[in-house]
Amino acid sequence: MVDGDSMSFNPPVSSNPESVWYTIDLAVPVPAHRFGFFTPPRGFRSDGIPFAQDAVPAYEVSIAAEGDPSWLVGNQPYRRIGPLIADVAENFAARVQIEFPRQYVRFVRYKRKTSLLDSGRGGNTSVRSGTAFKGSIGDFELFGEGVPRKAVYRSRIFELEEPINFGRLFWAATPLRAVNGELMEAPDAEVGVEVEMRTGRDGDPNIYHEYTDRGGEEVVPRERYDLVLQPRWRAGLLRDPRPGMRASIQYDSDNWSFWSLPFSEPGQAIDLKGGTHFQVRITLKSEDFAAFVRLDSLWIETAPLLASRVVGEVALASDVQPAGGLTQVPLGQAAELIYDIRGEFVGEGTGFDALRIRTGTRAVFTRLEMGNPPRVVEPVAVVEGDDELAVVLPERIGPGSAEGARIVFVADVFSLAWTFSGEVYNAGVDALPQPVEPGDASAELGTNSLRVLGMAGQSDGPVVGLDFSTRVLTPNGDGVHDEVEISYALVGLPEDVPVVFKVYSLDGRRVAKRLLGAQRFGVQRVRWDGRDGDGVLLSPGIYLVEVAPEAERTGARRLRPLTLIY
């Protein structure tokens, strides 16, 4: 019904027409302005009525720019997916054209409705009569003009001559707009580029399975899966599994990375494990019907591997073998963590002598252990950054040298799930680092993971550790406690949220408010000079200070008293 051939169609049925609806997914939102359908031009119904005259008596059509994939799943009750563009109780036209204001449309849902016209010639008002209801559709049509909201290109899988390390991703693009039929550069156009990437160690990111005679599954080559095995679905029926049938397709996460998060700006580090294969997925975006972006070039920074693999795992120092392999720490509290790494060298890599850990907040280095058995050693250098910890090792990890290292540090965990991703490199050398992959780095730790889960208490809210640089604010203009620095930590937030600072008098009146903008989890600070929103100094007294996400309505409120004197 959407194949461009009006003679291939589903004939009307004798079941209740209210049970029939179609959902069309265009894959991406397109600038559409007309939807339509028409009857088949030739042929006859079983009751002798020409298909060309078999108009749909009643229908409704709704549209949506974005949607829920569940709309396409069967066995769900009908519901409109968005605004109606048509709701017709009586229709006599064989060719229907529905005009609507041009807008982005990805999903279109058509529903056949019952009508008084169904009781006329060729109609049917009883689902038991055996006569097909009126209304035959040869094809659906959607008309539009302009640039889709996005276009997605997925490359083939590229094979490299040897395993390499991936660095930064770059591209060059030109925004363009159609003006009087000519393409002109448009730097101000609402367009953009997003690039995703995945890397692997073989030519296929999937693992293919065939059913066994016991109902299990076994791995088979893709050629057998595609060319020899048969699907379970046949003629609309799901057959019992047996040998010779296609079973599941699973992702080969041992040899392939998952798709990276979308890169929206060039020059960012890819942070994916090295390999011999890679694939990119490019999304060209536009919010302007007349503008689009042209991708002129794309290139990837590469370098030889420092090691065949570098695996790492992290665990709580007080619980190195946690139940289920999951490291859990209280949100917003300092935790001593052990971070083990191990290099694997199988004909590749000359080694490395430094490690950088993405901690998310400022971490405090405790000690470094190397050797077999492990012994405490002095690092060459330690850099405790705002969101990372870098350690330069006294001994190189490489072929014929040390196999691994253990870094112990203290860090606050403010996220519900934080991955302590790491990378190894050679200090003092201008070369690409190599990411640390989660895995079994040591027998002592039992997590095989770089992820730590933050556990919230039942009464905890999203703000903890509210504190003041001084308990008494004295805005006298003498430079002593004229302002107070208010520090706090946001915990358990999956994304940046708008935060608001409020001050209340003891009778509950709000006397000052300031929007602090969107903030991420972790330690934050704000300064206050004792004035309200109009810049007027508040009267001396005791006030209650609160910092909270702007839309927060759950969890315990955190208000602390502050004295204002002058």
Please indicate, yes or no, if residue 1 is contained in any of the structural domains.
Answer: no
Whole domain around residue 171: which residue ranges? Answer: 150-203+256-304
Pairwise CA distance, residues 353 & 303, whole Å: 17
Same domain, 181 and 119: no
- Is 282 in the same domain as 381? no
Whether the pLDDT of residue 44 is over 90: the answer is no
Per residue in 142-169, pLDDT tens?
999 999 999 999 999 999 988 899 999 9
Average pLDDT for 249-269: 93
- What local confidence, expressed as pLDDT, does residue 407 receive? 98
Residue 339 confidence (pLDDT) above 50: yes
Going by pLDDT thresholds of 50, 70 and 90, the confidence category of residue 457 is low
In a domain, residue 12? The reply is no
Closest to 416 (Cα-Cα) out of 483, 492, 470, 350? 492
In this predicted structure, the answer to whether residue 438 has a pLDDT above a threshold of 90 is yes
**pLDDT score of 199:** 94
Distance (Å) of CA 533 to CA 453, 503, 513, 542: 39, 10, 6, 18
The string of pLDDT tens digits covering residues 95-144 is: 999 999 999 999 999 999 988 877 654 455 444 455 677 888 889 999 99
pLDDT tens column, 45-68: 877 888 888 889 999 999 999 987
**How many structural domains does the chain have?**
5
Answer yes or no: do 520 and 434 share one domain: no
CB 425 within 8 A of CB 356: yes
**Cβ contacts of residue 222 below 8 Å, gap of 6+?**
204, 206, 208
Kindly state whether residues 154 and 300 are assigned to the same domain. yes
Is 8 contained in some domain?
A: no
Q: Same domain, yes or no, for 500 and 541?
A: yes
pLDDT > 90? residue 19: no
Grouping H, G, I as helix, E, B as strand and the rest as coil, residue 488 is strand
Tell me what pLDDT residue 10 has.
65
For the ranges 25-34, 413-422, 434-443, 490-499, the lowest mean pLDDT is seen at 490-499
pLDDT higher than threshold 60 for residue 340: yes
Give 380-398 pLDDT, tens digit per residue: 999 999 999 999 999 999 9
Instruction: Please give the pLDDT value at position 122.
Output: 47
pLDDT score of 230: 93
Confidence of residue 14 (pLDDT cuts 50, 70, 90): low
CB 88 within 8 A of CB 59: yes
Query: By the 8 A CB rule, do 56 and 1 touch?
Result: no
Top pLDDT among 234 and 546 is at 546
pLDDT at 494 over 90: no
Q: What's the pLDDT band for 506 if we cut at 50, 70, 90?
A: confident
Q: Is residue 2 part of a domain?
A: no
If you average pLDDT over residues 470-476, what whole number do you get?
90
Instruction: Tell which wins on pLDDT, 113 or 456.
Output: 113
For residue 452, what pLDDT band results from cuts at 50, 70 and 90?
Answer: very high
Is there a single domain that holds both residue 422 and residue 390?
yes
User: What is the pLDDT, as a whole number, of residue 125?
Assistant: 47
Kindly report the length of the chain: 566
Instruction: Decide if pLDDT at 419 tops 50.
Output: yes
Sheet of 484-490: strand order equals 463-468, 484-490, 522-528
Domain boundary among 99, 129, 144: 144
Res 127: pLDDT? 47
Whole-number Å distance between alpha carbons of 15 and 268: 57
CATH number for the domain spanning 533: value is 2.60.40.4070
Highest mean predicted confidence (pLDDT) among 73-87, 227-241, 335-349: 335-349
pLDDT computed for residue 496 by the predictor: 85
pLDDT value of position 131? 63
Which of 447, 145, 142 lies closest to 317, judged by CA? 447
Burial per residue of 431-460, b for 16 or more beta-carbon CB atoms within 10 angstroms, e otherwise:
ebbbbbbbbebbeebbbebbbbbbebeeeb
**Domain match, 361 and 386 both:** yes
Average pLDDT over residues 288-306: 95
Together in a domain, 350 and 413 = yes
Share the mean pLDDT of the chain: 89
Provide the pLDDT confidence category of residue 13 given band limits of 50, 70 and 90. Answer: low
Do residue 159 and residue 287 come from a single domain?
yes
Read off the pLDDT of each residue in 518-546 and give the average, rounded to a whole number: 89
The percentage of the chain sitting over the pLDDT mark of 90, rounded to a whole number, equals 57
| Residue-level pLDDT at 121 | 47
Q: Which of 195-199, 452-456, 459-463 has the lowest mean pLDDT?
A: 459-463
Give domain status of residue 243, yes or no: yes
Locate the DSSP E strands across 73-157. 84-88, 95-112, 139-144, 150-154
